[in-house]
Structure 1
Amino acid sequence: MVRSAALGLAAAVTMAGAAQAASTVQVSLWDKGADTPMTTGFAYGTPDLDMSKATMGITATPAAVKAGKITFKVKNSSKDTIQEMIMMYLVNPKDPLPYIAAENRVDEDKAGDKGEVSELDPGASGSLTVNLKPGKYVLICNFPGHFATGMWTEFTVKP
């Protein structure tokens, strides 16, 4: 009887621990090299994009996780460009992010910055742990010009 109760308690503790375990997402910030001319017109929300022509990008694996505590392990895979990763919640995923054309970057205050790993030197890594509710998010690099060259990816948080 005592052994049965102990096994039941151990199973409950294990299940509670699993429910609180953080998801981990590997994020790569990449570009095709400083010698490659930067393309434009690849901002989030632009219709009919051929992302294979983008000169910079972000890859998140997996691209969807369950709601709760999520750790993003970010690596700047570029050989010569400083990059960053900023997470933004998409209130309406069909709408483009607010953009400041004169500064060639997203308006982070209006877009709803949820956290970031900033200014990673080439080859450097960093991490961000956040508690996220279900919904659509976008990960971007907001250095001037990078977002419009394709440095963004959608990310989904499931219930």
Structure 2
Amino acid sequence: MNSLSRRGQIILGIASVILLTALSLVAVGVLSSVVNPGGTGFLSRTRCVTPNLPGPVVSVSLTNMCGPMMRRPNDMMGGAMRMTADRNTVAHGPVSFLVTNAGTISHELVILPLPESQIPGTRPIGADAKIDEAGSLGEASNTCAEGTGQGILPGASGWVTVTLPPGRYELVCNLPGHYAAGMYTQLTVT
């Protein structure tokens, strides 16, 4: 075998690997969209048209980092989850929440009053791996829409507008196991 044919075989092998990898990525994206047609495949992430929201807008990001490297003790979801808001204080009155799911699974936002003596993230968790939502002031769990739904799909947004009196509030994701995995943050209303 001469060096030119050996070099040609290496180039052909590299081109084959690149082509097969590209085809595999396309297949995964297409199959994800077929299995879960809400746009959860990485090639077809849902894009939402958000209306003009009244009052100050609190942008909330929902994320999860699943995998064995991110596992924490007693973490039934197998990964760290986070809820972050672009501000932690707003004035009382109408407040809009624009909630974007930057994770790989569905999430939601529930707004709960937080008593002065309570620390965020310390609510009791029930047998269903959820916290009690009694006293909730609003929820964003509808993909590309306002209010309640089945959860905000990955890559999508949802929103809700509520009138908040002064006080402390805990913003949570209350899908099973998500609160325990770290999906909460505090908002103070002045």
Give the length in aligned residue pairs. 123
Amino acid in structure 1 at the alignment position of 2:97: F
TM-score, normalising length: structure 2:
0.59
The question of 1:74 aligning with 2:88 is answered no
Task: Write out aligned runs for 1:1-159 (5 A).
Answer: 22-33=55-66, 38-39=71-72, 55-78=80-103, 80-94=104-118, 96-100=122-126, 102-109=127-134, 112-118=135-141, 119-158=151-190
Cα deviation, residue 99, structure 1: 2.6
Structure with greater contact order relative to length (CA < 8 Å, sep ≥ 6): 1
Q: Distance in 1 between matches of 2:68 and 2:74?
A: 19
Amino acid in structure 1 at the alignment position of 2:101: N
Amino acid in structure 2 at the alignment position of 1:97: R
Q: Distance in 2 between matches of 1:29 and 1:123?
A: 10
Q: 1:78-105 deviations in whole A, cap 9, x for unaligned?
A: 1x200001010113342642431x1111
CA contact (8 A) 2:129 2:176 kept: yes
SS in 2 for 1:108: coil
**Percent sequence identity over matched residues?**
37
CA contact (8 A) 1:40 1:148 kept: no
Q: Distance in 2 between matches of 1:67 and 1:88?
A: 15
Report which of the two has the higher share of strand: 1
Amino acid in structure 2 at the alignment position of 1:156: T
CA contact (8 A) 1:93 1:136 kept: no
Which consecutive unaligned segments of at least 5 residues does structure 1 have?
1-20, 43-53
Q: Which runs of 4+ in 1 moved over 6 A?
A: none
Which consecutive unaligned segments of at least 5 residues does structure 2 have?
1-53, 142-150
CA contact (8 A) 2:96 2:161 kept: yes
SS in 1 for 2:66: coil
Cα deviation, residue 40, structure 1: 5.5
Cα deviation, residue 62, structure 1: 1.1
Larger radius of gyration: 2
CA contact (8 A) 2:108 2:173 kept: yes
Cα deviation, residue 34, structure 1: 5.4
Residue 14 of structure 2 aligns with which residue? none
Q: Distance in 2 between matches of 1:138 and 1:124?
A: 22
Q: Distance in 2 between matches of 1:130 and 1:141?
A: 17
CA contact (8 A) 1:36 1:55 kept: no
Residue 12 of structure 1 aligns with which residue? none
CA contact (8 A) 2:59 2:97 kept: yes
TM-score, normalising length: structure 1:
0.70
